[in-house]
Amino acid sequence: MLFDWAAVRTALPSVRLLDEPLGRGASSVVLRGEDWVYGAVAVKVLPPEAVGDARHEASILATKLDHPHIVKVLYGSATNEIAAIVMELLPGGSLRTRLRQGRVTPEWACAVVLAVAAALDSAHHVLLHRDVKPENILFTADDQPKLADFGIARAFEGSVVNSTWPVGTWRYMAPEQFRADALRNTTDIYALGLVAYELLTGRPPFHWADATWESHRQCHENVQPPALIGVANPIARVVLRALRKDPADRPQDARAFFFELAAAAAAALGPDWLARADVRLELADDLAAALRPPGQAPASPPAPRAGAGGAAGAPATQPVTLPSVAVPSVAVPPVAVPSVAGPRDAVPRDAPGRPAEPTADVAGVAAAAGRRLQVRPPLPAVGPGPAWLPPQRASSTGPRPAPSADTGAVRARTGEDPGFRLAARRGALRVFAAVALIVAVVVLAVVMVH
């Protein structure tokens, strides 16, 4: 894709673009930038005809998905010439880059696949990704995998996604995608099985006669993947089951696939395999429990403080014991402080709708590797949000009100839009110059008259 740097700068006045593009696709390019609010960011640029897709992707990621293994979208912008999505920068590169560097350990491969399965488990409450592949699995600087590129994701209509024509990357498409059948969770499971096969063996399961559509379709619909040479049988069985041609024969959701692979990894690699994986995982407590070695009892984390750290979906932290220090007593006059109730404390403890307290603690699993496996409470359901998001500053006075559908007007009223602030300053200078000119003319006329 060819793009105009000036058009991107016009669409994103608060971002300074840096270096060469981070990556290119058939209809997009990803740039590195510096945002004056968020710091280092990645900017996905699309042509003007893709404005609808850009709004769709930004809306999905920013308002419906909040998961530590899904890339975070910050905001989006569009002009008549360009559409852009500003996302968190993931400097660790893509899974495709890691594969090009050589074979990986089975522990590392299983941990990465489990992270993506956890991301899909969260995403499948809302939508189907339809393009799971190594290029769309990115890493943070400390090796936390994140699923990216929801550009062709579609919301479920009941339990299926209906498509009128095949969409996806041929190499990672399920047989039902080639036929344009109704798609379910199992479509993404098939693609993740292909990624797992490639990670564990170092090669794709199929060898295509050529790079045509028909060659890929024949392989995915009719050719059985060969045995995974050099891979432990329990893990190989789980991967091959995910690659069954009939969707009904695969694991029916990402959660089931997660538990199957976690059990297989423990049986084949040992109960402490995750400590050797050197991958950072943040999982809900029920998923994390599947990775806990036998005999390790869960510990209850400290209760969240009211109004601080109690937001839904925030990772649970582990208790830390500090040495006692003698401190001289100081008389402090009492100060009345208004109580602030957090999201959990707003509901009485005995109320039936109150979320359960997180209880899992598996930080010890990865202690030997110097990494932490964080326990994350299950996310509540999130309703639909605005289609287009302006940048939001962090506020110390509490959460901001949700923007309305007219996000341009909201940005102007609240002053959040950097372009609006710049235009406002320029407008003020013009008004000041005009007033000064008028005053000078009046004074000059008075002097000349007298």
Going by DSSP bridges, is the β-strand pair 281-284/137-139 parallel, antiparallel, or unpaired?
Answer: unpaired
Q: Is 44 annotated as a binding residue?
A: yes
Exposed e or buried b per residue across 92-114, where buried means at least 16 C-beta atoms within 10 angstroms of its C-beta:
bebbeebbeeeebebbbbbbbbb
- What is the Cα–Cα distance from 415 to 419, expressed in whole angstroms? 9
131 classed as catalytic: yes
Listing DSSP states for 162-207 in one string gives --SS--S-GGG--HHHHTT--B-HHHHHHHHHHHHHHHHHSS-S--
Q: Residues 121, 131, 285, 361: which is the catalytic one?
A: 131
**H/E segment holding residue 284:** strand 281-284
- What is the Cα–Cα distance from 236 to 269, expressed in whole angstroms? 13
**H/E segment holding residue 118:** helix 106-123
Taking Cα atoms as reference points, which of 151, 19, 153 lies closest to residue 89? 19
Please classify residue 323 by burial: count the beta carbons closer than 10 Å to its beta carbon, then call 0-12 exposed, 13-18 middle and 19+ buried.
Answer: exposed
Going by DSSP bridges, is the β-strand pair 281-284/39-46 parallel, antiparallel, or unpaired?
Answer: unpaired
Taking Cα atoms as reference points, which of 361, 367, 360, 201 lies closest to residue 272? 367
Taking Cα atoms as reference points, which of 194, 152, 149, 201 lies closest to residue 173? 194
Amino acid at 383: G
Going by DSSP bridges, is the β-strand pair 83-88/73-78 parallel, antiparallel, or unpaired?
Answer: antiparallel
**Catalytic amino acids?**
131
Annotated binding-site ranges? 44
Q: Which residues are annotated as a binding site for ATP?
A: 44
